[in-house]
Structure formats: structure tokens, C-alpha cells
Structure 1
């Protein structure tokens, strides 16, 4: 890809992706879109190949500026996270559905070959996960929150526009990505990152789920690997639904705590478990994920907790 557009470029995943894209051979231009882009906080903005577009990506003026030159590849990461989208339903609708649909449509109207669009969807599309010990990647979707519903609708629209030839899209359903910087981001899974940061720093942590709470984990580096891989898969290998459930490392919080203790020894922090029923219901009852179709396409998880921790909290 010579010309790439990244929405949400200033976010946690966006920054990691942009830095990796700038290392790719042949890249001529990277258009970075986000509501705010600070060159002091984001040194890569000073790269001559980067064109920063600060503003709401759904605003016509922002889209026009971002798409001044048709991109070869698009990574759509911008969103209003789950709990914030639920608390601000109008905002969630505007960003996660309407703005995304506007972006898809504008891309489909561009001249030239259709761009490969990699969409950061979410496991929130499933809603309540099955109580069985394991889950297959073909699990039916039944979102319980607006965030998941909007992500699912965006997946369907992207697949339809791909069928019609306007874009060449692929939606990736992301699990919890760690370790996000401590901040009130609105991600319900933020406790996963907070746990890693605090214990690895030797600090105590009050955990909102119990030690048996089981979740899907993926490091930022692994997530970026999968995003870049998605951009390179030939269209002929993709199913008509144009959706991939990424493989994820399944582990309980207790197993993660033990792995941190083994890595840091006596320097590791201690955990005080104070489970919150709602947090456990949404983020602590994950079955073991089986994703052979995604793995056959070349997508991967971190491989083990030791590798996850090395990448997530180096």
C-alpha cells in the first residue's frame, strides 16, 4: 500500500498501527485522522509522509480533506467505546454507525480500484457469550449493547459494499487489547490493562472480577500484526460475510496474576478481589475460543501468557 488512511490514529491501537505502517517499505503517504492530533505527544506526526487531519471523521469537510487522494488502504479504528456509547446513545449512533456508514459510502464513490478497508469491529457483536466451555468463531451474533449493535450493522454494510465492488472490506472482531494506558477511556475491559500495569509495577490492585473470571487477551503488538495481515489477504480468500473473529488467548485473571508473579517474583503487586456482578457478566465469562478459519487465513494470537506479558508490559 502506498497511500493509507487511518481513522482513530491518535488512539491506543491507532498509534501502534501508525508507527508500524511507517516502517513498511513503499509507503508514500499516511493520512492520520482523529479529533485531536498533538505533534508533541505524537512525534510520528512530524514524518514527512504523514498528513494530519484533525476533526470529526464524519464531518463532510474532514472526509473531503482525508480523501483528497484516493487511498489504497484504509484502517477504520475510530469509535466511541462501549460504556461511553451506552451512556451517550446519540453520540454512539453518530460515531459508531452513521459516521462509519458515511465513510464507507464516500470510499465506495471514489474513482479507481476499490480500497482494502480493514474495520476494527468488536466481540461486543455477540452479546451474551455461550455458557459452554468452548465457542466457535461462527457463533451467532446477538448484541446486548448499542456499541455491539452498531458494530454489527457496520460489518453488514461493509460486506454489502464489498459485494457491489465499491470497496474491498474486511471486518476484524477484536478482543480486549492490552495494555492500554490508564485513563477513563470508556472501554469496559479497561480493568484488564489496569491489572497488568499495576501488578507489573509492584502496586496493589483492587480487581472488579474474581480470579476465575476468564477473558480473551491480545497484546497491542499482536493486534497490529493482525491488522496489517488483514490488509494483505487476497479478496478471493475471503468469505462473502467479510468478517473474521481474531484468535485470542483465553486465560483466567488468576492465571494472568500467576504469570505476572512468576515474571516479577517478589516485586509483583498484590490483588484484592472485589467482584462486580455486571463486570463479571460482560467481561469475565468467556469460553475458550476456537478460530480455525481465521488461523487458516494466517491470523494469530500471542501464543502464551509469557509472550503476551512481554509484549503488553515490556
Structure 2
């Protein structure tokens, strides 16, 4: 069992790290917040095997608070550890701003120097992560993250300001930061000395204009049903971040239902990368389809009721049949060049989930009506 103390546990990275550690049975967690008294902090430091120092100040009311909130608090940690005669593994979050001479950067560099001195004096293991532009769920908007601000404002139909659309920013996802911290925490020891950013954290460079456009496209997903290319890990991360800012009242939305004498149908998801998904309800005895495609392919999945799916090669007479039931979850492939139909042969409504390899384009439908049984289309 390992005891892990986290300073800044109520902050952006801290909350994400705490949420991950709460599910580990091999960890006893000590969460330190801004309100934690020094006596309580001392007690935690006396028991901790690992300290993850995330507490800090980046938007103070006065520049002096950079020094007291960053370097000063780090000095307090190291002083208490010296008094206790302890040298637990120390993982410190710093910033790439430590390379610059602005007030914030200077205070973060001073913090690094303080823990480096502590390591030299005690032989403690210290890892310093110089983080850059971290984004993800639970980050405060209109504070220090352009991603959080864009996501919050666009999700709430508020304006955003992009002064230079071509300006590039390098972004790091909070889950990747947490993974790097956990990896360092679990490293076998001892490893004396100071390691600055032990393992490179994956990052993504993007222009502010592109960033804003992607988040706007997420906001438009409900009416357009179009999803981005989620094979790109960055799109997954950015959409997850955006969705965390959406008002819960907007999580639910309706689909456009198209009804006729056969039943009804609604499109669900569209993407130029994987086509589209739609769903239908069909009355007993009703047939859909009786058409074929040259390039488009489909998959049919009856999820309720009973259906008969029929095929005929457009150059032949032989009819192929597949009978399916909702309780069986059987998928039927629809190849090109075969006219096909699906008939509700049960006594109740049939519900079918369809996937098509491309989004339907009325200017290029690739749909040709030919009856499977050659008695005319339904």
C-alpha cells in the first residue's frame, strides 16, 4: 500500500488525478487543499510515500502572489519535510514558463530550484514536469486555458475572441498529464536527483482559428448529426472536453422523424469518414427497399421484431433470403449490385438499425429501384 499526498487536489489537474487514484486499491490518498492548515499538512507529509505537488498560483490579484503562492508554498513543503526528516518521492508540476523571465515563470523556476536543493541535501527522488497549455474536463473557463474558454462560451452560445487565427498553440490533454504522473509515481526506485519532465507528454499543435472551428463544429453536431474524424486522438480529447461544458439540459435532443404509411425513419449519425447510421420502425407486412447500389454498402440490424431480408443479383433470377429476429442481434451485409428489400414478417412493429458507407447525397444517391421479386418496387 502506497500513501500519496496531493497538494492542489481541488485544482484542475488535481481533481483529475484524485479521480483516477480513488479507484486504485493500492493507494491511500491524502488530499491537500488551499484551506488545509499547516498542522494537517505536516501530519500528511509525515505519512506520505509520494508527494504530488500541484498547488500553485497563475492568476493572482498582485504579482507578489506568484512568489508566495508558488515558490513560497514549495519552500514550506520542503521545510516541513526537513523538520520531519523525511524524503518521499516528490513529483512537482511546473510550467514551460519557467524558461522565461516573467513573474509567473520566475516563481515556477524558483520552485524548481527549491526542490532541486532539497534533492541535493537529502538524496530525495524529485521529478519536475514542465507542463504546457493543459486542457480537459473540469478546467475553469475564462481563466488560463483558451480551450476551456472556447468550449464554455461556444457551448453556451457566447462569443469568443480570436485576435490572431494563425497563432499556434501547443496543447496537452489532462489525461495524458495524469498518466505521466502515475507512471512516475509507480517507477521502481530509488532514483536520486532531479529529473525534469521524465517522459515526454503527447502534445498537439493547432492554430487558434482551427481550434475555434473544430469546437464550433462540435456545437453544430446536434442539428447536423455530423461527427468529426474520431480516428484522430486529438479530436476525441477535444470533443470530450467540449461536451463537459455543455449544459445538462442540452444533453438530450430530438431527431427529425420522417413518416409515411410504412412507419417512420430517422437519421442518427453522419460522418464523411464512416458514412451514416439511421433507424426505422416498420409496420407488420410492410416492405422497405427494393433497390440496389453500385458503390454504397450497408449493414442491417433488426433490433426488435422479425424481418425477412431478400437479395437478388441484378443480372440473375435467384433470390437469397435471410430471416432475422431482434433478440438474435444478427447483422446482414448489403453488397453492391444486389437489389434488396426488408419486410416485417412479424406480428409487431419491426425496429431496424441501418449503417450506410456514405452519407446520402440527393445529387448522387447511388440508389436504383428494382424489385427483388421482379413484380415492381414497393
Give yes or no for TM over 0.5.
yes
Structure 1 residues 32 and 226: alpha-carbon distance in aligned structure 2, compared to 1, 3 A threshold:
same
SS in 2 for 1:207: coil
Answer 1 or 2: which has greater helix percent. 1
TM-superposed deviation, 1:266: 5.5
Conservation of the 8 A alpha-carbon contact between 1:109 and 1:166? no
Aligned residues: 232
* Alpha carbons of structure 1 residues 258 and 23: separation in structure 2 relative to 1, 3 Å: same
Aligned to 2:54: 77
Are 1:66 and 2:44 matched, yes or no? yes
Structure with larger Rg? 2
Structure 2 equivalent of residue 41 of structure 1: none
Question: For residues 157 and 144 of structure 1, what CA distance do their matches in structure 2 show?
Answer: 17
State TM-score, norm by structure 2. Answer: 0.55
Structure 1 gaps of 5+ residues are 37-53, 127-142, 269-302
* Structure with more of its chain in strand, by fraction: 2
Alpha carbons of structure 1 residues 310 and 233: separation in structure 2 relative to 1, 3 Å: farther
Alignment-derived partner of residue 288 in structure 1: none
Is 2:195 the counterpart of 1:242?
yes
Q: Is this contact kept in 1: 2:153–2:160, CA < 8 A? A: no
Match of 1:46 in 2: none
Whether 1:312 and 2:241 are equivalent positions in the alignment is yes
Counterpart of 1:212 (choices 144, 160, 166) is: 166
Could you say which residue in structure 2 is the equivalent of 1:45? none
Deviation at 1:220, TM superposition (A): 2.2
In structure 1, the partner of 2:150 is 195
- Residue matched to 2:114: 157
The answer for the alignment partner of 1:23 in structure 2 is 23
Correspondence for 1:277: none
Residue in structure 1 matched with residue 329 of structure 2 by the alignment: none
Structure 2 stretches of 5 or more lacking a match?
Answer: 224-231, 244-378
TM-score by length of 1: 0.65
What corresponds to 1:99 in structure 2?
73
Aligned residues: CA RMSD: 2.7
Matching of residue 222 in structure 1 with residue 176 in structure 2: yes
**Is the Cα contact below 8 Å between 1:259 and 1:305 reproduced in 2?**
no
The answer to whether the Cα contact below 8 Å between 2:141 and 2:148 also exists between their aligned partners in 1 is: no
Whether 1:146 and 2:145 are equivalent positions in the alignment is: no
Residue from 95, 117, 125 that aligns with 1:168: 125
Contact 1:219-1:312 within 8 A present in 2 as well: no
1:116 partnered with 2:89: yes
